[in-house]
């Protein structure tokens, strides 16, 4: 846990990023929602920057070599930014690296983006959809051959294909700990939804041809920044970017933008699909596959959160998202005929 006044951390940054000038301040940023990284504003005589501090990298990703993975992702983000795609700008240290270790934490520095948060429910989804579409269609071509090669070795953290076998153990874990946390009780009350979604995701397979592309995997309204003079959103927090099939990434973003400030309804979902999927939203086969991907991404998150908490004890705050967000979306989708 990093605590004020952050004197040693400031010295560490000053020594590792001398080209940015003399440090002026390092101030923590706070949010009303759960985040995976601790964020700070780092100001120097050379400008303003955003510092990301990852406290439990191994627990977050379920693997040992997280620093190496994030270094490759940092290189990919740098290449995308240089190619003109609307992504945040990552900063190299004096040693040429994007990722640095500090007291068991992983540090990365980004140019501070002064764009506003999501606010316009009419235009901001369209700007966001345009950015995501560019990542899907242009992203791979913007990467060097070496970066593409290294990115192909990455997969989502705790994928459902490996965690599904743990579902019975997760049920027992919740039963054992339910007296201590009401959120566990609420999850147990909806366990039939969990089992249905796991079985459906693993047994059903999309039938339309699926092509690999560069995917964000976590693009929601809080990971988009907007500027008055730009018709595309700046995508931030690309830590989980991988090369994968497009539909899970697309389906995740559609759900998050659709229901951010609106009640779940078939009409609202149709509108979001039309914005993010453009002409494809009229293709019944595509909609079937999208529906499958939406259920899959939500149940994968449920099982991932529970598995991570049970096996590592970290990132427990995400438990509170399971019922009101992930399971609520699954239950809506199971009853919806919009896509199925």
Per-residue pLDDT tens digits for 47-100: 999 999 999 999 999 987 999 999 999 999 999 999 999 999 999 999 999 999
Q: What pLDDT is attached to residue 340?
A: 44
Q: How many CB atoms lie within 10 A of CB 263?
A: 8
Per-residue pLDDT tens digits for 201-228: 998 665 565 689 999 999 999 999 999 8
Mean pLDDT over the full length of the chain: 94
Q: What is the DSSP pairing of strand 38-44 with strand 105-111?
A: unpaired
Domain coverage including residue 57: 16-111
CATH at residue 273: 3.90.1200.10
Number of independent structural domains in the chain: 2
Q: What pLDDT is attached to residue 270?
A: 94
SS3 breakdown of the chain: % helix, strand, coil, rounded to 5? 55, 15, 30
Tell me, yes or no, whether 40 and 97 share the same domain.
yes
Cα separation, 80 vs 89, whole angstroms: 9
Per-residue pLDDT tens digits for 132-144: 999 999 999 999 9
Give the residue-averaged pLDDT of 296-319.
96
CB neighbour list of residue 15: distance below 8 Å, 6 or more residues apart: none
Domain assignment of residue 2, yes or no = no
pTM of the model: 0.94
Tell me, yes or no, whether 98 and 132 share the same domain.
no
Question: 286 with 209: CB under 8 angstroms?
Answer: no
pLDDT bucket at 338, cuts 50 / 70 / 90? low
Domain assignment of residue 119, yes or no = no
Cα separation, 336 vs 322, whole angstroms: 20
Give the residue-averaged pLDDT of 241-245.
96
> Facing residues of 90 across strands?
110
Burial of residue 168 (number of CB atoms within 10 Å: 0-12, 13-18, 19+): exposed
Domain assignment of residue 118, yes or no = no
Tell me, yes or no, whether 105 and 161 share the same domain.
no
Cα separation, 26 vs 13, whole angstroms: 10
Q: What pLDDT is attached to residue 169?
A: 98
Higher pLDDT among residues 297 and 32, named by residue:
297
| Residue 32 scores a pLDDT above 90 | no
Cα separation, 299 vs 12, whole angstroms: 40
Cα separation, 326 vs 158, whole angstroms: 16
Tell me, yes or no, whether 59 and 188 share the same domain.
no
Q: What pLDDT is attached to residue 206?
A: 59
Tell me, yes or no, whether 69 and 161 share the same domain.
no
């Amino acid at each position: 846990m990093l605590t004020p006044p952050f004197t040693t951390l400031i010295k560490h940054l000053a020594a590792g990023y001398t080209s940015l000038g003399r440090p002026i301040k390092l101030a923590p940023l706070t949010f009303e929602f759960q985040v995976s990284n601790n964020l700070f504003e780092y100001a120097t005589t050379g400008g303003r920057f955003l510092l990301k501090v990852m406290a439990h990298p191994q627990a977050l990703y379920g693997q040992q070599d997280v620093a190496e993975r994030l270094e490759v992702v940092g290189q990919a983000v740098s290449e995308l930014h240089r190619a003109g795609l609307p992504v945040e700008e990552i900063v190299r240290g004096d040693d040429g690296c994007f990722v640095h270790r500090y007291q068991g934490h992983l540090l990365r520095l980004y140019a501070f983006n002064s764009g506003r948060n999501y606010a316009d429910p009419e235009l901001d989804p369209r700007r966001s959809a345009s950015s995501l579409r560019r990542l899907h269609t242009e992203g791979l071509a913007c990467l060097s051959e070496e970066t593409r090669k290294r990115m192909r070795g990455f997969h989502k953290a705790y994928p459902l294909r490996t965690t599904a076998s743990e579902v019975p153990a997760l049920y027992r874990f919740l039963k054992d700990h339910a007296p201590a946390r009401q959120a566990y009780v609420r999850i147990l009350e909806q366990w039939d939804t969990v089992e249905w979604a796991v079985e459906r995701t693993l047994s059903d397979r999309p039938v339309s041809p699926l092509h690999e592309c560069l995917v964000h995997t976590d693009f929601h309204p809080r990971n988009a920044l907007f500027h008055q003079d730009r018709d595309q959103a700046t995508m931030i927090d690309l830590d989980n970017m991988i090369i994968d099939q497009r539909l899970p990434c697309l389906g995740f973003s559609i759900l998050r933008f659709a229901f951010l400030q609106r009640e779940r309804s078939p009409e609202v979902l149709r509108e979001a699909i039309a914005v993010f999927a453009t002409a494809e939203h009229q293709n019944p086969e595509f909609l079937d596959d999208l529906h499958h991907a939406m259920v899959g991404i939500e149940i994968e998150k449920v099982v991932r959160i529970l598995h991570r908490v049970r096996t590592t004890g970290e990132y427990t705050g995400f438990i509170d998202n399971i019922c009101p967000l992930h399971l609520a979306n699954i239950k809506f989708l199971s009853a919806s005929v919009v896509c199925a």
